[in-house]
Amino acid sequence: MRIYLATGNPGKAREFADLFAAYDIEIAVPEIMPDVDENGATFAENARIKAQALFDLIGENVIADDSGLCVDALEGRPGIYSARYAKPGKRRLKILEELKDVPPEKRTARFICALCFIEKSGKMTICEGACEGHIIDRSRGTNGFGYDPIFQPIEFDKTFAELSRDEKNQISHRAASVRKLMDKCARTGEVIG
């Protein structure tokens, strides 16, 4: 079974391909991605906007995510603006600069991932997963992408960027959202595809 993922981010595509492989689901990236104005007020709304745009274009099983980092000391920022919080290459530095006077115990944060799955029939399912942790004082690690080098999940003494692919895929916000989606489908007796 194949689901088309609404993303142009190769890191996300790889992570979702790994996560869905456990369910014998192939994740494919479409050749053409529609231009989408992510103007929702929540992660779930933005995921729905992206999924609907791709579904309208190809009419196949599609899934989209909207995810980001929410830092408590920054009143939840960058949140839904995580990908646009600063110029590329400067986002982590901006977070670290904003937190420079914040003590470690006040640097709690979470990654959130909202998924919107639209079946070929048009039926829509939305769910959300999270991974709790905190922001460290400098970048560490070379795996992952985005804010991964400054986020340390509560389950490990390593950042997301220091975790192996398997370790990250056990605890990440994307893993949590995929599990919730599959559990939701199993509870309602639906079969994805």
As a dihedral over the C-alpha atoms of residue 93, residue 98, residue 101, residue 104, rounded to 10 degrees, the angle is: -70
Task: DSSP for 54-118, please give it.
Answer: HHHHH-S-EEEEEEEEEEGGGTT-BGGGGGGSSSTTTHHHHHHHHTTTS-GGG-EEEEEEEEEEE
Catalytic residues: 66
| Tokens linked to 171 | 């605890």
